[in-house]
Structure 1
Amino acid sequence: MRLPDEFVALFSADRPARTDDLLDHLRTWGSVPTPVGTFQLVPVRVERDLPLIHGWMNDPAVAAFWELAGPPNETEKHVRAQLDGDGRSVPCLGVLDGTPLSYWEIYRADLDPLTRHYPARPHDTGIHLLIGDAEHRARRLGSALLRAVADQILDRRPACARVVAEPDLRNTPSVAAFLSAGFRFDSEVDLPGKRAALMVRDRVLRHVLCNVW
Protein backbone atom coordinates (compact mmCIF):
# COMPACT_ATOMS: atom_id res chain seq x y z
CA MET A 1 0.00 0.00 0.00
CA ARG A 2 1.38 3.41 -0.97
CA LEU A 3 0.28 6.51 0.87
CA PRO A 4 -0.59 9.57 -1.24
CA ASP A 5 2.27 12.05 -1.64
CA GLU A 6 0.17 14.80 -0.05
CA PHE A 7 -0.33 12.69 3.08
CA VAL A 8 3.37 11.86 3.35
CA ALA A 9 4.25 15.53 3.00
CA LEU A 10 2.29 16.36 6.14
CA PHE A 11 4.81 14.36 8.15
CA SER A 12 7.97 15.19 6.25
CA ALA A 13 11.11 16.18 8.10
CA ASP A 14 10.94 19.62 6.51
CA ARG A 15 7.65 20.46 8.19
CA PRO A 16 8.14 23.06 10.95
CA ALA A 17 7.97 21.58 14.44
CA ARG A 18 6.16 24.60 15.83
CA THR A 19 3.64 27.05 14.43
CA ASP A 20 1.44 29.77 15.84
CA ASP A 21 -1.70 28.24 14.36
CA LEU A 22 -3.20 27.94 17.85
CA LEU A 23 -3.22 31.75 18.01
CA ASP A 24 -4.34 32.38 14.44
CA HIS A 25 -0.90 33.32 13.10
CA LEU A 26 -0.13 36.11 15.56
CA ARG A 27 3.06 37.01 13.70
CA THR A 28 0.95 38.26 10.77
CA TRP A 29 -1.30 40.56 12.80
CA GLY A 30 0.64 43.70 11.93
CA SER A 31 0.52 47.13 13.52
CA VAL A 32 -2.44 49.08 14.89
CA PRO A 33 -2.96 52.77 15.65
CA THR A 34 -3.50 53.76 19.27
CA PRO A 35 -3.88 57.16 20.96
CA VAL A 36 -0.26 56.84 22.15
CA GLY A 37 1.28 55.79 18.83
CA THR A 38 1.51 52.93 16.35
CA PHE A 39 1.81 49.61 18.15
CA GLN A 40 2.81 46.11 17.05
CA LEU A 41 3.38 42.75 18.72
CA VAL A 42 6.63 41.28 17.40
CA PRO A 43 7.35 37.63 18.30
CA VAL A 44 10.54 37.30 20.34
CA ARG A 45 13.80 36.13 18.77
CA VAL A 46 16.11 35.03 21.58
CA GLU A 47 19.37 35.95 19.85
CA ARG A 48 18.09 39.48 19.25
CA ASP A 49 15.88 40.21 22.24
CA LEU A 50 17.27 38.33 25.25
CA PRO A 51 19.50 41.17 26.57
CA LEU A 52 16.58 43.61 26.56
CA ILE A 53 14.11 41.22 28.21
CA HIS A 54 16.71 40.07 30.74
CA GLY A 55 17.35 43.68 31.74
CA TRP A 56 13.64 44.29 32.27
CA MET A 57 13.26 41.14 34.37
CA ASN A 58 15.99 42.40 36.69
CA ASP A 59 14.26 45.70 37.36
CA PRO A 60 13.08 45.37 40.98
CA ALA A 61 9.61 46.69 40.12
CA VAL A 62 9.23 43.94 37.51
CA ALA A 63 11.00 41.20 39.47
CA ALA A 64 8.60 41.61 42.39
CA PHE A 65 5.82 40.10 40.27
CA TRP A 66 7.52 38.13 37.48
CA GLU A 67 10.15 36.51 39.74
CA LEU A 68 12.61 36.01 36.87
CA ALA A 69 15.49 38.14 38.14
CA GLY A 70 18.90 36.54 37.88
CA PRO A 71 21.35 35.53 35.14
CA PRO A 72 20.39 35.60 31.46
CA ASN A 73 19.88 31.84 31.31
CA GLU A 74 16.89 32.16 33.67
CA THR A 75 15.14 34.53 31.28
CA GLU A 76 16.18 32.46 28.29
CA LYS A 77 14.78 29.27 29.82
CA HIS A 78 11.45 30.98 30.43
CA VAL A 79 11.21 32.31 26.87
CA ARG A 80 12.48 29.18 25.13
CA ALA A 81 9.94 27.01 26.94
CA GLN A 82 7.30 28.89 24.92
CA LEU A 83 9.23 29.11 21.66
CA ASP A 84 9.95 25.38 21.72
CA GLY A 85 6.34 24.49 22.55
CA ASP A 86 3.35 23.88 20.32
CA GLY A 87 2.39 27.52 19.88
CA ARG A 88 -0.15 27.80 22.68
CA SER A 89 1.89 30.71 24.11
CA VAL A 90 3.78 33.28 22.02
CA PRO A 91 6.24 35.67 23.72
CA CYS A 92 6.38 39.07 22.03
CA LEU A 93 7.97 42.46 22.26
CA GLY A 94 5.53 45.34 22.22
CA VAL A 95 6.91 47.95 19.82
CA LEU A 96 5.51 51.48 20.01
CA ASP A 97 6.48 53.89 17.23
CA GLY A 98 9.49 51.71 16.47
CA THR A 99 10.68 51.39 20.08
CA PRO A 100 10.43 48.06 21.93
CA LEU A 101 9.19 48.98 25.39
CA SER A 102 7.09 46.08 26.66
CA TYR A 103 7.08 42.29 26.89
CA TRP A 104 3.92 40.26 26.25
CA GLU A 105 2.84 36.67 26.40
CA ILE A 106 -0.27 35.92 24.37
CA TYR A 107 -1.52 32.47 25.24
CA ARG A 108 -4.41 30.05 24.85
CA ALA A 109 -5.91 30.26 28.33
CA ASP A 110 -8.22 27.34 27.55
CA LEU A 111 -5.13 25.13 26.99
CA ASP A 112 -3.23 26.44 30.02
CA PRO A 113 -3.01 25.17 33.62
CA LEU A 114 -5.05 28.29 34.44
CA THR A 115 -8.12 26.20 33.54
CA ARG A 116 -7.74 24.45 36.91
CA HIS A 117 -8.64 27.72 38.58
CA TYR A 118 -11.50 29.20 36.53
CA PRO A 119 -14.32 27.97 34.25
CA ALA A 120 -12.59 28.32 30.89
CA ARG A 121 -14.38 28.52 27.57
CA PRO A 122 -13.02 27.30 24.22
CA HIS A 123 -10.53 29.73 22.65
CA ASP A 124 -10.21 31.95 25.74
CA THR A 125 -7.05 33.97 25.09
CA GLY A 126 -4.80 35.22 27.87
CA ILE A 127 -2.45 38.18 28.25
CA HIS A 128 0.68 38.67 30.37
CA LEU A 129 2.28 42.12 30.16
CA LEU A 130 5.18 44.06 31.58
CA ILE A 131 6.25 47.54 30.57
CA GLY A 132 10.01 47.54 30.73
CA ASP A 133 11.67 50.79 31.74
CA ALA A 134 10.49 53.02 34.57
CA GLU A 135 10.31 56.02 32.22
CA HIS A 136 7.74 54.20 30.08
CA ARG A 137 5.77 52.98 33.11
CA ALA A 138 5.58 56.61 34.22
CA ARG A 139 3.83 57.46 30.93
CA ARG A 140 0.85 55.30 31.99
CA LEU A 141 0.72 53.47 28.68
CA GLY A 142 -0.74 50.27 30.10
CA SER A 143 -4.43 50.94 29.50
CA ALA A 144 -3.97 52.07 25.91
CA LEU A 145 -1.76 49.11 25.03
CA LEU A 146 -3.97 46.56 26.78
CA ARG A 147 -7.05 47.84 24.98
CA ALA A 148 -5.23 47.75 21.64
CA VAL A 149 -4.00 44.18 22.14
CA ALA A 150 -7.36 42.93 23.44
CA ASP A 151 -9.10 44.51 20.44
CA GLN A 152 -6.56 42.94 18.11
CA ILE A 153 -7.13 39.51 19.64
CA LEU A 154 -10.90 39.84 19.21
CA ASP A 155 -10.46 41.09 15.65
CA ARG A 156 -7.98 38.41 14.61
CA ARG A 157 -9.43 35.48 16.54
CA PRO A 158 -13.15 35.28 15.65
CA ALA A 159 -13.58 32.08 17.70
CA CYS A 160 -12.39 33.86 20.85
CA ALA A 161 -15.24 35.27 22.93
CA ARG A 162 -13.13 36.42 25.89
CA VAL A 163 -9.70 37.84 26.61
CA VAL A 164 -8.53 37.05 30.15
CA ALA A 165 -5.69 38.05 32.45
CA GLU A 166 -4.61 37.22 35.99
CA PRO A 167 -2.48 40.05 37.44
CA ASP A 168 -1.28 39.76 41.01
CA LEU A 169 -3.82 41.37 43.35
CA ARG A 170 -0.97 43.30 44.99
CA ASN A 171 -0.14 44.93 41.66
CA THR A 172 -2.80 47.60 41.91
CA PRO A 173 -1.49 49.71 38.97
CA SER A 174 -1.80 46.65 36.72
CA VAL A 175 -5.33 45.83 37.91
CA ALA A 176 -6.33 49.47 37.40
CA ALA A 177 -4.89 49.46 33.87
CA PHE A 178 -6.96 46.39 32.95
CA LEU A 179 -10.11 48.02 34.31
CA SER A 180 -9.45 51.19 32.33
CA ALA A 181 -8.86 49.07 29.22
CA GLY A 182 -12.39 47.65 29.30
CA PHE A 183 -11.77 44.50 31.33
CA ARG A 184 -14.06 43.62 34.21
CA PHE A 185 -13.04 42.09 37.51
CA ASP A 186 -14.42 38.55 37.62
CA SER A 187 -13.05 36.98 40.81
CA GLU A 188 -10.05 36.35 43.00
CA VAL A 189 -8.18 33.14 42.21
CA ASP A 190 -5.38 31.34 44.02
CA LEU A 191 -2.61 30.50 41.54
CA PRO A 192 0.80 28.97 42.20
CA GLY A 193 2.81 31.73 43.84
CA LYS A 194 0.16 34.43 43.91
CA ARG A 195 -3.40 35.45 44.59
CA ALA A 196 -4.65 36.95 41.37
CA ALA A 197 -7.44 39.12 40.07
CA LEU A 198 -9.15 37.33 37.18
CA MET A 199 -9.85 40.05 34.61
CA VAL A 200 -12.11 39.43 31.61
CA ARG A 201 -12.77 41.37 28.42
CA ASP A 202 -15.95 39.98 26.87
CA ARG A 203 -16.59 40.27 23.15
CA VAL A 204 -20.28 40.96 23.81
CA LEU A 205 -19.38 43.84 26.14
CA ARG A 206 -16.58 45.13 23.95
CA HIS A 207 -18.22 48.46 23.21
CA VAL A 208 -19.94 48.84 26.58
CA LEU A 209 -17.01 48.66 28.98
CA CYS A 210 -15.00 51.41 27.34
CA ASN A 211 -13.59 53.65 30.03
CA VAL A 212 -10.55 55.65 29.00
CA TRP A 213 -7.43 54.97 27.01
Structure 2
Amino acid sequence: MSEIVFERTDERLGEFAVRPVEPDRDTELLHGWLTHPKSAYWLMLDAEPADVRRQFRTIEATPGNDAFVGLHNGVPSFLIERYDPARSELAELYRVERGDVGMHFLAAPTGMPVHGFTRAVLTTVMDLMFADPGVRRVVVEPDVNNTSVHALNAEVGFEVIDTVSLTEKKALLSVCTRAAYLASGKAGSTEREASR
Protein backbone atom coordinates (compact mmCIF):
# COMPACT_ATOMS: atom_id res chain seq x y z
CA MET A 1 0.00 0.00 0.00
CA SER A 2 1.20 3.49 -0.86
CA GLU A 3 2.58 5.62 1.90
CA ILE A 4 0.61 8.65 3.07
CA VAL A 5 2.46 11.70 1.73
CA PHE A 6 0.27 14.43 3.23
CA GLU A 7 -2.39 14.78 5.89
CA ARG A 8 -4.39 17.46 7.62
CA THR A 9 -7.23 17.68 10.11
CA ASP A 10 -10.40 19.57 9.34
CA GLU A 11 -11.99 20.85 12.55
CA ARG A 12 -15.47 19.85 11.43
CA LEU A 13 -15.00 16.91 9.09
CA GLY A 14 -12.01 15.06 10.51
CA GLU A 15 -8.92 13.55 8.92
CA PHE A 16 -7.86 14.05 5.31
CA ALA A 17 -4.85 12.20 3.91
CA VAL A 18 -3.25 11.75 0.50
CA ARG A 19 -1.38 8.83 -1.03
CA PRO A 20 -0.03 8.27 -4.56
CA VAL A 21 -2.31 6.51 -7.05
CA GLU A 22 -1.26 2.93 -7.75
CA PRO A 23 -2.62 2.46 -11.29
CA ASP A 24 -3.13 -1.31 -11.15
CA ARG A 25 -4.54 -1.39 -7.63
CA ASP A 26 -6.74 1.70 -8.01
CA THR A 27 -8.20 1.09 -11.48
CA GLU A 28 -11.57 -0.24 -10.29
CA LEU A 29 -11.99 2.55 -7.73
CA LEU A 30 -11.04 5.34 -10.15
CA HIS A 31 -13.06 3.85 -13.01
CA GLY A 32 -16.16 3.95 -10.81
CA TRP A 33 -15.56 7.60 -9.96
CA LEU A 34 -14.58 8.84 -13.43
CA THR A 35 -17.44 7.17 -15.30
CA HIS A 36 -20.12 8.43 -12.92
CA PRO A 37 -22.42 11.09 -14.47
CA LYS A 38 -21.39 13.59 -11.75
CA SER A 39 -17.81 13.39 -13.11
CA ALA A 40 -18.77 14.53 -16.63
CA TYR A 41 -16.21 17.36 -16.63
CA TRP A 42 -13.40 14.79 -16.45
CA LEU A 43 -14.42 13.65 -19.95
CA MET A 44 -14.09 9.93 -19.16
CA LEU A 45 -17.73 8.84 -18.89
CA ASP A 46 -17.26 6.18 -21.58
CA ALA A 47 -13.84 4.98 -20.40
CA GLU A 48 -13.19 1.29 -19.92
CA PRO A 49 -11.10 0.11 -16.94
CA ALA A 50 -8.14 -0.39 -19.29
CA ASP A 51 -8.41 3.26 -20.38
CA VAL A 52 -8.31 4.42 -16.76
CA ARG A 53 -5.33 2.20 -15.95
CA ARG A 54 -3.49 3.48 -19.05
CA GLN A 55 -4.28 7.11 -18.15
CA PHE A 56 -2.81 6.80 -14.66
CA ARG A 57 0.19 4.80 -15.83
CA THR A 58 0.90 7.64 -18.27
CA ILE A 59 0.62 10.22 -15.49
CA GLU A 60 2.94 8.13 -13.31
CA ALA A 61 5.52 7.91 -16.12
CA THR A 62 5.42 11.60 -17.09
CA PRO A 63 7.99 13.88 -15.41
CA GLY A 64 6.34 16.65 -13.42
CA ASN A 65 2.98 14.84 -13.25
CA ASP A 66 1.51 12.73 -10.48
CA ALA A 67 -1.85 11.61 -9.15
CA PHE A 68 -3.11 10.95 -5.64
CA VAL A 69 -6.02 9.23 -3.97
CA GLY A 70 -7.40 11.28 -1.10
CA LEU A 71 -8.75 9.62 2.01
CA HIS A 72 -11.38 11.04 4.33
CA ASN A 73 -11.22 9.39 7.74
CA GLY A 74 -9.38 6.51 6.08
CA VAL A 75 -11.85 5.99 3.20
CA PRO A 76 -10.86 6.77 -0.43
CA SER A 77 -12.96 9.84 -1.25
CA PHE A 78 -11.21 12.11 -3.74
CA LEU A 79 -8.70 12.29 -6.57
CA ILE A 80 -5.93 14.81 -7.24
CA GLU A 81 -3.80 15.30 -10.33
CA ARG A 82 -0.77 17.58 -10.25
CA TYR A 83 1.01 18.57 -13.46
CA ASP A 84 3.64 20.86 -14.90
CA PRO A 85 1.88 23.58 -16.96
CA ALA A 86 5.08 24.17 -18.95
CA ARG A 87 4.71 20.62 -20.35
CA SER A 88 1.00 20.94 -21.13
CA GLU A 89 -1.03 22.65 -23.83
CA LEU A 90 -1.38 25.60 -21.44
CA ALA A 91 2.21 26.55 -22.23
CA GLU A 92 1.00 27.97 -25.55
CA LEU A 93 -1.83 29.92 -23.93
CA TYR A 94 -0.30 31.86 -21.04
CA ARG A 95 3.11 32.88 -19.72
CA VAL A 96 4.16 30.06 -17.42
CA GLU A 97 6.10 31.37 -14.44
CA ARG A 98 8.69 29.68 -12.25
CA GLY A 99 6.84 27.99 -9.40
CA ASP A 100 3.60 27.35 -11.33
CA VAL A 101 1.93 23.98 -10.75
CA GLY A 102 -1.27 22.77 -12.40
CA MET A 103 -3.90 20.70 -10.66
CA HIS A 104 -7.23 18.94 -11.09
CA PHE A 105 -9.36 17.49 -8.30
CA LEU A 106 -12.46 15.34 -8.05
CA ALA A 107 -14.59 14.69 -4.98
CA ALA A 108 -15.87 11.14 -5.40
CA PRO A 109 -19.53 10.94 -6.39
CA THR A 110 -21.71 9.88 -3.48
CA GLY A 111 -25.37 9.35 -2.73
CA MET A 112 -24.86 10.84 0.75
CA PRO A 113 -23.23 14.28 0.32
CA VAL A 114 -21.72 15.95 3.37
CA HIS A 115 -22.11 19.73 3.63
CA GLY A 116 -18.75 21.44 3.12
CA PHE A 117 -16.97 18.27 1.98
CA THR A 118 -15.86 19.50 -1.46
CA ARG A 119 -14.57 22.73 0.08
CA ALA A 120 -12.57 20.67 2.60
CA VAL A 121 -11.19 18.56 -0.25
CA LEU A 122 -10.11 21.68 -2.15
CA THR A 123 -8.46 23.03 1.01
CA THR A 124 -6.57 19.74 1.34
CA VAL A 125 -5.52 19.94 -2.31
CA MET A 126 -4.31 23.53 -1.98
CA ASP A 127 -2.46 22.77 1.26
CA LEU A 128 -0.77 19.86 -0.52
CA MET A 129 0.24 22.05 -3.47
CA PHE A 130 1.65 24.83 -1.28
CA ALA A 131 3.40 22.39 1.07
CA ASP A 132 6.10 22.41 -1.62
CA PRO A 133 8.04 25.63 -0.91
CA GLY A 134 8.91 25.92 -4.60
CA VAL A 135 5.27 26.37 -5.60
CA ARG A 136 4.35 30.03 -6.07
CA ARG A 137 1.07 29.69 -7.98
CA VAL A 138 -1.52 26.97 -8.57
CA VAL A 139 -2.99 26.95 -12.08
CA VAL A 140 -6.37 25.45 -13.02
CA GLU A 141 -8.44 25.30 -16.20
CA PRO A 142 -11.98 24.18 -15.33
CA ASP A 143 -14.65 23.98 -18.01
CA VAL A 144 -16.42 27.31 -18.46
CA ASN A 145 -19.73 25.63 -17.59
CA ASN A 146 -18.52 24.17 -14.28
CA THR A 147 -19.94 27.01 -12.21
CA SER A 148 -19.82 25.16 -8.90
CA VAL A 149 -16.05 24.70 -9.12
CA HIS A 150 -15.61 28.32 -10.26
CA ALA A 151 -17.30 29.44 -7.02
CA LEU A 152 -15.13 27.13 -4.90
CA ASN A 153 -11.98 28.30 -6.67
CA ALA A 154 -12.87 31.94 -6.04
CA GLU A 155 -13.38 31.18 -2.33
CA VAL A 156 -9.80 29.97 -1.93
CA GLY A 157 -8.22 32.84 -3.87
CA PHE A 158 -8.18 31.89 -7.56
CA GLU A 159 -8.37 34.72 -10.06
CA VAL A 160 -9.58 34.14 -13.62
CA ILE A 161 -6.96 35.39 -16.08
CA ASP A 162 -8.44 34.26 -19.39
CA THR A 163 -10.95 32.09 -21.21
CA VAL A 164 -8.99 29.59 -23.29
CA SER A 165 -9.81 26.94 -25.87
CA LEU A 166 -8.21 23.60 -25.03
CA THR A 167 -8.33 20.43 -27.09
CA GLU A 168 -11.48 19.09 -25.40
CA LYS A 169 -13.07 22.12 -23.75
CA LYS A 170 -13.40 25.86 -23.33
CA ALA A 171 -11.92 26.69 -19.94
CA LEU A 172 -11.43 29.47 -17.41
CA LEU A 173 -7.68 29.70 -16.93
CA SER A 174 -7.24 30.75 -13.31
CA VAL A 175 -4.33 31.17 -10.93
CA CYS A 176 -3.99 31.33 -7.16
CA THR A 177 -0.85 32.70 -5.56
CA ARG A 178 0.32 31.52 -2.17
CA ALA A 179 -0.47 34.98 -0.79
CA ALA A 180 -4.00 34.96 -2.23
CA TYR A 181 -4.65 31.52 -0.77
CA LEU A 182 -3.49 32.57 2.68
CA ALA A 183 -5.48 35.82 2.44
CA SER A 184 -8.66 33.87 1.59
CA GLY A 185 -8.73 32.51 5.14
CA LYS A 186 -9.43 29.03 3.75
CA ALA A 187 -5.95 27.57 4.27
CA GLY A 188 -6.09 24.46 6.39
CA SER A 189 -3.81 23.22 9.11
CA THR A 190 -1.01 21.03 7.84
CA GLU A 191 -0.21 18.25 10.25
CA ARG A 192 2.40 16.31 8.31
CA GLU A 193 3.95 16.18 4.92
CA ALA A 194 6.06 13.11 4.34
CA SER A 195 9.17 13.55 2.25
CA ARG A 196 8.76 12.56 -1.37
TM-score category of the 2 structures, normalised to the smaller one = 0.7 to 0.9
User: Which position in structure 1 is the counterpart of 2:36?
Assistant: 59
User: Which position in structure 2 is the counterpart of 1:128?
Assistant: 104
Once the two structures are superposed, the pairs formed by residues 1-213 of structure 1 within 5 Å of their partners are: 29-35=5-11, 36-62=13-39, 64-68=40-44, 69-86=46-63, 88-135=64-111, 139-155=115-131, 157-210=132-185
Higher relative contact order (CA 8 A, sep 6+): 2
**In the TM superposition, what is the alpha-carbon distance from 1:61 to its structure 2 partner?**
1.9
User: Which position in structure 2 is the counterpart of 1:22?
Assistant: none
**In the TM superposition, what is the alpha-carbon distance from 1:212 to its structure 2 partner?**
9.3
Using structure 1 for the length normalisation, give the TM-score.
0.77
* Structure 1 residues 37-65: Cα deviation after superposition (integer angstroms, max 9, x where no partner): 21122111122211010011111121x21
**What are structure 1's unaligned runs of at least 5 residues?**
1-26
Distance in 1 (CA, whole Å) between partners of 2:65 and 2:82 is 6
Using structure 2 for the length normalisation, give the TM-score.
0.84
Report which of the two structures shows the higher radius of gyration computed on alpha carbons.
Answer: 1
**In the TM superposition, what is the alpha-carbon distance from 1:125 to its structure 2 partner?**
0.9
* Structure 1 residues 153-200: Cα deviation after superposition (integer angstroms, max 9, x where no partner): 223x21221011111111111111111223222221111111111221
Decide whether the 8 Å contact of 1:110 with 1:123 is kept in 2. no
* Structure 1 residues 101-135: Cα deviation after superposition (integer angstroms, max 9, x where no partner): 11110112233222111111013111111112233
**What are structure 2's unaligned runs of at least 5 residues?**
189-196
SS of equivalent to 2:128: helix
Distance in 2 (CA, whole Å) between partners of 1:54 and 1:206 is 31
Percent identity between the two aligned chains: 27
Distance in 2 (CA, whole Å) between partners of 1:90 and 1:212 is 22
The alignment yields a C-alpha RMSD, in angstroms, of 2.2
Query: What amino acid does structure 1 have at the position aligned with 2:160?
Result: F
Decide whether the 8 Å contact of 1:117 with 1:191 is kept in 2. no
User: Quick check: 40-49 or 137-146, which moved more?
Assistant: 137-146
Decide whether the 8 Å contact of 1:31 with 1:38 is kept in 2. yes
